[in-house]
Homo-oligomer: A and B are copies of this chain.
Amino acid sequence: MNPNALVQCVPNFSEGRRPEVIEAIAGAIAAQGVRVLSVSADADHNRCVITFVGEPGAVAQAAIRGAEVAMRLIDLNQHRGNHPRMGAVDVIPFVPISGCDMADCVALARRVGEALGNMGLPVFLYEEAATRPDRRNLADVRRGEFEGLREQIGVDPAKKPDFGPEKIHPTAGCTAVGARMPLIAFNVNLGTSDLSIAKKIAKAVRGSSGGLVHCKALGIPLADRGQVQVSMNMVNYKETPLHRAFELIKLEAERYGVPVVGSEIVGLVPVDALVGVARHYLRLEGFKSDQVLEKRLVE
């Protein structure tokens, strides 16, 4: 893989209450030369999510070091929380941001999965890294959680790990490692208060009901604005770009005589997703995303 590529990693750890544990994990990750973008802990879930970005080698090392600390400090036998979980380091997704593709992140997931396996954790590859169709969906992999999987691993052939021992780790459980595209929260606001129109358009545009494959959509009210919104998760902006969802919504809204009054992107977006929008509307030929000045600075 291009050593200048940028990969994002968003591991979830089963600790949301002891700040010293969360800090120890985040510190081990940051020490590997990656940029930690956010550390978000939830006491009810008893879980924390650490988002970091860096070049592939550093990101892999950071994921492994973070997992090591979590294995040492978290005991699933003592863990209670509202969020389903099966391991001290519960899930590690790798996300291609720039200069790399999904195949690169799948390779990274395998490499890190193997390392965690060698550390004594049963590892299941999931989503784009899955080795069997019934492991694509994380919820399926995690079904039964720590307590259930403890009985099944080593017994049920469907629960044979991709890496590591065929026996759950007595305190750290087991881990899902995978690869997925970045998720973009993209909402489009309609100039009507008629929620049924937003719901009909959401249905038209989302993949689950015949629309764009990598688009999840719901119609919701924006009561304070007297408007409604098609609220979307764009889960693969390369194959289903933002502008295509936007134009499709505009087209459907027209049929109801309703204007599209605005849109919003919530949270972070990879620059390539916006380059794609500019490339489409300006009809750009031959534009390479490394022509973006700021991209020269993160190499």
- A180: shortest Cβ distance to chain B, in Å? 15
Partner of A6, one of B282, B292, B294: B294
Selected from B270, B282, B297, the residue in CB contact (under 8 A) with A35 is B297
In the assembled complex, A268 has its CB within 8 A of some CB on chain B = yes
A246 touches B35 (CB 8 A): no
| Number of A residues with CB within 8 Å of any CB on chain B | 42
Contacts of A274 in B (CB 8 A): 271, 274-275, 277-278, 292
Decide if A296 is an interface residue (CB 8 Å cutoff): yes
Q: Please indicate the chain B residues that have their CB under 8 angstroms from the CB of A246 in the complex.
A: 281-282
CB-based nearest B residue for A264? B285
Q: What DSSP secondary structure best describes chain A's contact surface?
A: mixed
Tell me the residues in window 92-119 of chain A with beta carbons closer than 8 Å to chain B beta carbons.
97-98
User: Does A261 sit within 8 A of B, measured CB to CB?
Assistant: yes
Q: Which residues of A from 242 to 299 have beta carbons under 8 Å from B?
A: 242-243, 246, 260-265, 267-271, 274-275, 277-278, 281-287, 291-298
Q: Of the candidates B97, B243, B268, B293, which one forms a contact with A97 in the assembled complex, judged by CB atoms under 8 Å apart?
A: B293
Q: Quick check: is A31 within 8 A (CB to CB) of the other chain?
A: no
Chain B residues closer than 8 Å to A231, beta-carbon distance: none
A interface residues with partner B (beta carbon < 8 Å): 6, 8, 35, 37, 53, 97-98, 182, 189, 242-243, 246, 260-265, 267-271, 274-275, 277-278, 281-287, 291-298
Q: Other than the known A53-B297, A265-B287, what 8 A-B pairs have Cβ atoms closer than 8 Å?
A: A35-B297, A268-B291, A268-B292, A268-B293, A269-B291, A277-B281, A294-B295, A297-B297
